[in-house]
């Protein structure tokens, strides 16, 4: 009985301990004043979590996001400027870490791709509408009209005409 209890207790302790640093929240970081804390929160809100991709570092619960928050915290405490911190992260992880990447040749598709697709869709829609109007208003020739009348007359020959 005691052996089962110890085994269960050991399993619970191992499962419950997990990575302790992953449970740390934004409140675990200590700041000199409220302005410094707000500055830190604003900075990590502008940076994208590399794992979650649609969450900021402030919102993400991923282990990598925690590590990056800790790294940003250390750089802020060391007195580095926002530009230096962002440059460091971009050099290390690329423009993807930014929610608002700069406009440059490597990001043209990201910035202008949606507009190009909308323009292409508009042009294709306009062509389809014009083509449909043209085919709907096309007149049939007299020879085709006579042929149609003859065909319809043969079908309706069994019916009485009003």
Domain boundary among 102, 130, 147: 102
What would the two tokens of residue 160 be? 């009485």
**Cα separation, 136 vs 33, whole angstroms:** 73
Whether residues 36 and 87 fall in one domain:
yes
Whether residues 72 and 124 fall in one domain:
no
Domain boundary among 102, 117, 141: 102
Whether residues 61 and 127 fall in one domain:
no
- List the domain range (segments joined by +) for residue 71: 19-102
Stretch among 80-84, 119-123, 131-135, 142-146 having the lowest mean pLDDT? 131-135
Instruction: Determine contact, residues 98/86, Cβ cutoff 8 Å.
Output: yes
Number of domains making up the chain: 2
Whether residues 98 and 111 fall in one domain:
no
Q: Is residue 31 part of a domain?
A: yes
Instruction: Point out which residues pair with 56 in neighbouring strands.
Output: 48
Angle, CA of 7, 12 and 18, to the nearest 5°: 130
Whether residues 97 and 122 fall in one domain:
no
Q: Is residue 162 part of a domain?
A: no
Whether residues 97 and 113 fall in one domain:
no
Q: Is residue 4 part of a domain?
A: no
When pLDDT is averaged across residues 88-111 and rounded to a whole number, the result is 87
The CATH number that applies at residue 52 is 1.10.8.640
pLDDT digit string (tens) for 4-58? 777 776 776 666 555 444 444 566 788 888 888 888 888 999 898 888 878 888 8
Whether residues 68 and 116 fall in one domain:
no
CA 128 to chain centre: 31
Which of 44, 25, 42 is closest to 34 using CA atoms?
42
When pLDDT is averaged across residues 96-115 and rounded to a whole number, the result is 88
Whether residues 58 and 118 fall in one domain:
no
């Amino acid at each position: 009985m005691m052996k089962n209890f110890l085994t269960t207790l050991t399993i619970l302790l191992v499962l419950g301990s997990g990575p302790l640093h992953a449970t740390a929240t934004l409140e675990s970081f200590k700041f000199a004043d409220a302005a410094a804390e707000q500055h830190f929160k604003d900075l990590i809100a502008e940076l994208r979590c590399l794992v979650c991709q649609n969450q900021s570092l402030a919102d993400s619960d991923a282990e990598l996001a925690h590590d990056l928050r800790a790294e940003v915290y250390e750089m802020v405490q060391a007195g580095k400027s926002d530009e230096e911190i962002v440059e460091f992260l971009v050099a290390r992880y690329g423009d993807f870490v930014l929610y608002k990447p700069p406009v440059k040749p490597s990001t043209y598709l990201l910035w202008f791709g949606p507009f190009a697709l909308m323009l292409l869709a508009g042009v294709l829609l306009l062509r389809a509408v014009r083509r449909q109007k043209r085919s709907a208003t096309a007149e049939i020739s007299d020879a085709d009209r006579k042929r149609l009348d003859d065909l319809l007359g043969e079908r309706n020959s069994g019916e009485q005409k009003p």
